Structure 1
Amino acid sequence: MRLRPVRPAGWWFDGLLLAALVGLTAALATGHLFGVDRAVADWAADHRPTAARWIAMILNYLGQGTPLTLLAAGLGVLVAVRLRSVRPVLPPVAGFVLTYLTIGPLKVWTARPAPSASVREPFLPPDQTLPLFQHELPVAFAQSYPSGHVANAIVWYGVLALLLAPLLRTFGRAVPPRLISVVRVIPPVIVLCTTTYLGWHWLTDSVAGLLLGLLLDRLLHRAPWDDVPLPAALRRWDRPFISAP
Structure 2
Amino acid sequence: MRLRPVRPAGWRWDALLLAALVALTVLLTTGHLLGLDRAVADWADTHRPTAAYWTARVLNYLGQGTPLTLLAAGVGVLVGIRLHSVRPVLPPIAAFVLTYLTIGPLKLWTDRAAPSASIKEPFLPEGDAVRLFHTDGPYGVSYPSGHVANSIVWYGVLALLLAPLLRTFGRTVPPRLVTLVRVLPPVVVLCTTTYLGWHWLTDSLAGLLLGLLLDRILHRVPWDDLPLPGRLRDWDRPFISYP
Answer yes or no: is the 8 Å Cα contact 1:80–1:88 preserved in 2: yes
Q: Which runs of 4+ in 1 moved over 6 A?
A: none
2:236 is aligned with 1:238:
yes
Answer yes or no: is the 8 Å Cα contact 1:117–1:123 preserved in 2: no
* CA displacement 1:139-187 (0-9 Å, x = unmatched): x110000000000000000000000000000000000000000000000
1:208 to 202, 206, 224: 206
- Which segments of 5 or more consecutive residues in structure 2 lack a partner in the other structure? none
Quote the residue 2:66 is aligned against. 66
* CA displacement 1:64-116 (0-9 Å, x = unmatched): 00000000000000000000000000000000000000000000000000000
Distance 1:211 1:161 in 2: 19
* CA displacement 1:187-225 (0-9 Å, x = unmatched): 000000000000000000000000000000000000000
Quote the residue 1:110 is aligned against. 110
2:121 is aligned with 1:121:
yes
Quote the residue 1:166 is aligned against. 164
Letter matched to residue 163 of structure 2: A
TM-score after normalising by structure 2: 0.99
How many residues align? The count is: 243
2:2 is aligned with 1:2:
yes
Distance 1:211 1:126 in 2: 27
C-alpha displacement at 1:137, in angstroms? Answer: 1.6
The alignment yields a C-alpha RMSD, in angstroms, of: 0.7
Partner SS, residue 120 of structure 2: coil
Answer yes or no: is the 8 Å Cα contact 1:122–1:141 preserved in 2: no
Distance 2:131 2:53 in 1: 26
Quote the residue 1:27 is aligned against. 27
Distance 1:70 1:232 in 2: 28
1:170-181 matched pairs, under 5 angstroms: 170-181=168-179
Distance 1:100 1:220 in 2: 14
Quote the residue 1:189 is aligned against. 187
Letter matched to residue 4 of structure 1: R
Quote the residue 1:53 is aligned against. 53
C-alpha displacement at 1:244, in angstroms? Answer: 1.1
Letter matched to residue 104 of structure 1: G
Distance 1:154 1:170 in 2: 25
Quote the residue 1:94 is aligned against. 94
Quote the residue 1:152 is aligned against. 150
C-alpha displacement at 1:122, in angstroms? Answer: 5.3
TM-score after normalising by structure 1: 0.98
